[in-house]
Amino acid sequence: MAPKITRVDEADLARAGIDWRVDPRSGYFGALLRLPRKERLRDRGASFPSMREIFLHILGNNAWWLDSVVHERQESQHEIKGSLSDAEIRRQARRIARSSRRLAKWLTPTRLNRRFVLRGTRGDGQPFETRMNLRTIVWHMVEEELQHRGELNALFWQQDVDAPTRAWFGSALAD
């Protein structure tokens, strides 16, 4: 018997990818909170010094790209970093999750082609402006989260802590 082939469009896949990224974040934050504070904040020489800062970077990336850029609010973006309380981090994570899920529901194949203007400052201090479609933004966010979630996984495992991983098998499109 031939396997059942389910047709999905790219918007379906992007929606499932957003959910797959959003769903485990509370597990990662919970695992971070179970670590002693000193371990959460210890400089581990990773992409961002501490595990807490890596998690904040994940949240900040999502807030920037999926909130500020997509809703054309780049100028009013507030970074998610610094000495935030655990309660504030949890509040920001929930806000970003709601915003990401709203975006996921809004996605269509046509909307993935929508273009946005990005303005910022390069590493050398020079301003830049470029255009990018929503498709590129969504898939960039998948890549970013995979990179930093993998990094957190490795840092958890170095401490003999089970990382709260979630396989794609649990996604809405898994068959």
State pLDDT tens for residues 92-108. Answer: 999 999 999 999 999 99
Q: What burial letters (b/e) apply to 119-147, b meaning 16+ CB within 10 Å?
A: eeeeeeeeeeeeeeebbebbeebeebbee
Token code pair at residue 22:
């959003």
pTM of the model: 0.89
For residue 23, the model assigns a pLDDT of: 87
For residue 7, the model assigns a pLDDT of: 80
Q: Tokens 């597990």 correspond to what residue?
A: 27
The residue-averaged pLDDT of 89-94 equals 93
Token code pair at residue 165:
């991983």
pLDDT in tens, 1-22: 555 657 889 999 999 999 989 9
Query: What's the whole-number average pLDDT of the chain?
Result: 90
| Long-range interactions of 68-73: CB distance < 8 A, separation 24+ | 69/116, 69/118, 69/137, 70/103, 70/116, 70/134, 70/137, 72/116
Three-state SS for 110-156 is CHHHCEEEEEEECCCCCEEEEEEEHHHHHHHHHHHHHHHHHHHHHHH
Residue 63 or 167, more confident? 63
Does the pLDDT of residue 134 top 80, yes or no?
yes
What confidence tier does 78 reach under pLDDT thresholds 50, 70, 90?
Answer: low
- Domains of the chain, CATH where assigned: 10-104+126-166 (1.20.120.450)
The residue-averaged pLDDT of 66-92 equals 84
